[in-house]
Amino acid sequence: MCGIVGYIGTKKATPILINGLLRLEYRGYDSAGISTIEKDGLSIMKDKGRVKNLSNIPGIDDLEGTIGIAHTRWATHGKPSKENSHPHMDNSKSFSVVHNGIIENYNELRKFLGDNGYTFYSETDTEVIPNLIHYYYSKDNNNDDEKLLRAVRSAVLDLKGSFAIEVISKFDKDNMIVVRKDSPLVIGTCEDENYISSDIPAILSFTRDFYLLNDLEFVVLSRNNATFYDKDLNKIEKDTKTIEWNASAAEKDGYEDYMLKEIHEQPTAIRETIGSKLSEDAPIEFDELNFNKEYLSSLNKIYIVACGTAMHAGLAGKNAIEKLCKIPTEVDIASEFRYRDPIIDDKTLCIFISQSGETADTIAALKLSKEKGAKTLAVTNVIGSSITREADYSIYTHAGPEIAVASTKAYTSQVVLLNVLALYFTQILGCGDAKLNDLKKDILDLPRKIEETLKVCENIGEFAKEVYQEHDVFFLGRGIDETVAKEGSLKLKEISYIHSESYAAGELKHGPIALIEAGITVISIMTDSKLVEKTVSNIQEVITRGAKTLVITNQKVDQKMFDKTIVIPDTNPFISPILSVVPLQLFAYYIAKEKGLDVDKPRNLAKSVTVE
């Protein structure tokens, strides 16, 4: 995900900005840039590629400005390029802006600004921001000290989506304005200097005193002051917080482990992954793909091939593609797929999922599919990874770096991207109906509902304390819920080393029930109204045999039946795995913590499996 840095003080800004960007490289990016206030106006230096490339831009060493903003970009709106990289200016080159997040209504704002004479030079959503600021600034006939602040505030209130924004202007060479909503932003302060960043580690070497911002709080920063305003521009008071972390702890943003941090990053990861592809009232866009109706109609099969958690995401994708597009879809494990001589030809589309883009078995399966004449599509989190170089097409999740070995936010980002892809195919095929608009709305509402789910899971650690010494745990589900049972079981295995198995709930009587005895823990997921009654009947069978039960549901059930029930927000069954998996991620996490295990680095496992 993108990263931002800012500086206002007495030193040259450029070295500080570049140093901050280097500390944000772990977030992943495809371009970088800085903007400073110089004597003759605003300067912008930016380029595609690594932060180190900035040092090679002619004239960058000559910049003297002591106020500046900087950015590392991970492409969402528009391809990786110098033109699309940040910072962005307005047409008059009076305002410079960097932005993290997604502006969901940027098409509407772009049209409005175009109708008012503004021209755009990039494909980004961000470019509307400096031009909106210029629009409101030029409409304000007052010339007091708060004119820029009012213009920024008016522009920000027009934005829908998530954002952390830094603004500098040639009209105010002594101040910078920052604001955030649903995207991280912190201000580090010390004598005669203020530092801004999306992550504490980028500026921790300069200060340990930080202001932490809430949504829609505006800050006017000078060299020795920070003035805070609410969304109505009433002044508010804020105290600094002293951060005692070392650099390693700071990268966890105060969380005890990377895994816990990444679980809580899922709302942001989903927002970034949806990006500009999906909105309620516009066609779905995948600029990376050129599929047409003739090609999709000719397909006799789609294969989704992956390993581990990515394969479980593929199962959720299969559900969406088959039910929405009516194309037969098969999910296969990459290490098995390549050795069983799969039936593939030019009427087969093969989709390969890999968080790292370096999974050896998945890449080998991709090469085999190409040899047999199939078109290949990679779904990955890493731009420029091996799988993207091999595949005919690539689409990206934007989960940011996932450091913990056990995947969490990468999984949910993959599931949402596959659902958006299924909607895109449906759009091309023209086989959708009114219900698709409801599904779009539910997908766009996912970040908020994940936040709600995290709140209702606050006490799941108490149940983990009751069962962490178990040797066997069983997961049950029907339909789409079975795919979540598989992922929940895998998470528990990976980080707690407890033996667990997942089953289709209807299979319970066909063998597995022989393993159920007093004290065994059984976990069930119930999110499909058509299947909930049958699943409840299966759970009753294990209860009568003395099992302890944990139920994850958004359906009306008699909670008194179960030892623990977690009620998650209601949503479309296609995307319910994104919500129902969150309690299971946390359940596995807290059990591992109770056992005193290294949650981020479980034994024998690697983050990226690059050998067979």
Q: What is the pLDDT, as a whole number, of residue 344?
A: 94
Q: 108: helix, coil or strand?
A: helix
Percent of the chain with pLDDT over 90: 71
Statement to judge: residues 239 and 217 lie in one domain: yes
> Taking a C-beta distance cutoff of 8 angstroms, is the pair 456, 568 a contact?
yes
Q: How confident is the model at residue 342 (pLDDT cuts 50, 70, 90)?
A: very high
Judge whether 140 lies within some domain. yes
In sequence order, the 6+-apart residues with CB closer than 8 A to the CB of 292 are: 428
| 3-state helix/strand/coil string of 399-428 | CCCCCCCCCCHHHHHHHHHHHHHHHHHHHH
**Average pLDDT value for residue range 444-449:** 95
Q: Give, as one character, the DSSP assignment of residue 68.
A: E
pTM above 0.95, yes or no: no
Judge whether 26 lies within some domain. yes
Residue among 478, 465, 501, 469 at smallest CA distance from 586: 465
Q: 298: helix, coil or strand?
A: helix
Check pLDDT > 80 for residue 150. Answer: yes
Judge whether 316 lies within some domain. yes
Known catalytic residue: 607?
Answer: yes
Percent of the chain with pLDDT over 70: 97
Known catalytic residue: 2?
Answer: yes
Kindly report the CATH number assigned to the domain that includes residue 172: 3.60.20.10
| Residue tagged active-site, from 2, 325, 350, 457 | 2
Separation of alpha carbons 436 and 52, rounded Å? 45
Of 127-131, 180-184, 442-446, minimum mean pLDDT range:
180-184
Q: How many CB atoms lie within 10 A of CB 292?
A: 11
Reported as type and span, the H/E element at residue 313 is helix 308-325
| Residue tagged active-site, from 12, 231, 323, 607 | 607
Residue 592 amino acid letter: A
Name the β-bridge partners of 167.
Answer: 97, 177
Statement to judge: residues 98 and 150 lie in one domain: yes
> Taking a C-beta distance cutoff of 8 angstroms, is the pair 390, 416 a contact?
no
Separation of alpha carbons 331 and 480, rounded Å? 14
Sign of the dihedral defined by the CA atoms of residues 9, 13, 16, 17, in that order:
positive
Strands laid side by side in the 548-553 sheet? 499-504, 472-477, 521-526, 548-553, 564-567
Q: What is the pLDDT, as a whole number, of residue 185?
A: 87
Judge whether 355 lies within some domain. yes
User: Using alpha carbons only, what angle is made at residue 320 by residues 319 and 325, rounded to the nearest 5 degrees?
Assistant: 115
Boundaries of domain holding 550: 453-594
Statement to judge: residues 131 and 214 lie in one domain: yes
Q: What is the pLDDT, as a whole number, of residue 245?
A: 65
Q: What is the pLDDT of residues 528-558, one digit of tens each?
A: 989 989 999 889 999 999 999 999 999 988 8
Judge whether 611 lies within some domain. no
Residue 96 region by backbone torsions, left for phi larger than 0, else alpha for psi between -120 and 50, else beta: beta
Q: How confident is the model at residue 610 (pLDDT cuts 50, 70, 90)?
A: very low
Among residues 387, 422, 444, the one where a domain terminates is 444
Statement to judge: residues 417 and 521 lie in one domain: no
Q: What is the pLDDT, as a whole number, of residue 512?
A: 87
Which structure tokens are listed for 473? 């745990």
Instruction: Considering only CA atoms, give the Rg of the chain.
Output: 25
The phi, psi pair for 407, rounded to 5°, reads -75, 135
Judge whether 604 lies within some domain. no
**Residue ranges of the alpha helices (H) in 344-445?**
360-371, 386-390, 409-429, 435-444
Q: How confident is the model at residue 200 (pLDDT cuts 50, 70, 90)?
A: confident
Statement to judge: residues 226 and 278 lie in one domain: no
Q: What is the pLDDT, as a whole number, of residue 280?
A: 80
The phi, psi pair for 184, rounded to 5°, reads -70, 145
Separation of alpha carbons 553 and 539, rounded Å? 13
Q: Give, as one character, the DSSP assignment of residue 212.
A: E
Statement to judge: residues 389 and 433 lie in one domain: yes
Judge whether 608 lies within some domain. no
Among residues 414, 444, 474, the one where a domain terminates is 444
Judge whether 255 lies within some domain. no
**Average pLDDT value for residue range 294-314:** 96
Q: What is the pLDDT of residues 453-495, one digit of tens each?
A: 999 998 999 999 999 999 999 999 999 999 999 999 999 999 9
Statement to judge: residues 91 and 202 lie in one domain: yes
Kindly report the CATH number assigned to the domain that includes residue 412: 3.40.50.10490
Statement to judge: residues 85 and 205 lie in one domain: yes
- Total domains in the chain come to 3
> Taking a C-beta distance cutoff of 8 angstroms, is the pair 447, 458 a contact?
no
Among residues 393, 425, 444, the one where a domain terminates is 444
Q: What is the pLDDT of residues 488-533, one digit of tens each?
A: 999 999 999 999 999 999 898 899 898 888 889 999 999 998 998 9
Q: 163: helix, coil or strand?
A: strand
Statement to judge: residues 409 and 280 lie in one domain: yes
Strands laid side by side in the 375-380 sheet? 329-333, 301-306, 348-354, 375-380, 393-396
Q: How confident is the model at residue 64 (pLDDT cuts 50, 70, 90)?
A: very high
Statement to judge: residues 383 and 466 lie in one domain: no
Statement to judge: residues 419 and 522 lie in one domain: no
Residue among 507, 402, 446 at smallest CA distance from 162: 446
Statement to judge: residues 266 and 411 lie in one domain: yes
Of 212-226, 241-255, 403-417, 532-546, minimum mean pLDDT range:
241-255
